[in-house]
């Protein structure tokens, strides 16, 4: 997916914190000029409704852990959106070409709005 986005002419930061005052909030791809943060979420770790499986051992611990991740994702989305960023979230199982097309479309539109 990154290769496809790069081939489309877009440049980005990888594993980057878009907000200076929230260094723990790191997005997988960040388009700093367009203010677009992209997250590729793992199905198990982020509770994919289609592919998430219940852990066979220590199920209660893992259920809490996944719920904590989902809650943090929502908080991070709200923080970024409040700061004027567009947030894109995709699941790891999504088709890379489709994900790349969505990213290119949103980043290009954001760049056109900002004059870059």
DSSP strand pairing (27-31 vs 36-41): antiparallel
Model pLDDT for residues 12-50, shown as the tens digit of each residue: 999 999 999 998 899 999 999 999 999 999 998 898 989
The domain spanning residue 11 has which CATH number?
3.40.960.10
Model pLDDT for residues 45-98, shown as the tens digit of each residue: 898 989 888 888 999 999 999 999 999 999 999 999 999 999 999 999 999 999
Nearest to 42 by CA among 66, 23, 64: 66
Query: Whole domain around residue 25: which residue ranges?
Result: 2-114
SS3 state at 13:
strand
pTM here is 0.91
Q: How many domains does the chain have?
A: 1
Give the position of tokens 């929230």: 22
List, as one string, the DSSP characters of 22-80.
-TT--EEEEETTTTEEEEEE-HHHHT-TTT----SSSHHHHHHHHHHHHHHHHHHHHHH
* Res. 115 pLDDT band, cuts 50 70 90: low
């Amino acid at each position: 997916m990154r290769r496809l986005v790069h081939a489309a002419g877009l440049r980005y930061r990888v594993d980057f914190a878009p907000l200076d005052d929230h260094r723990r909030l790191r997005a997988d791809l960040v388009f700093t000029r367009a203010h677009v943060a992209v997250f590729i979420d793992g199905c198990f770790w982020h509770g994919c409704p289609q592919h998430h499986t219940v852990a066979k051992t220590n199920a209660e611990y893992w259920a809490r852990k996944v719920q904590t991740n989902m809650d943090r994702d929502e908080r991070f989305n709200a923080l970024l959106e409040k700061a004027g960023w567009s947030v894109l979230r995709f699941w790891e199982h999504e088709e890379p070409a489709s994900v790349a097309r969505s990213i290119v479309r949103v980043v290009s539109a954001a760049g056109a709005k900002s004059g870059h």
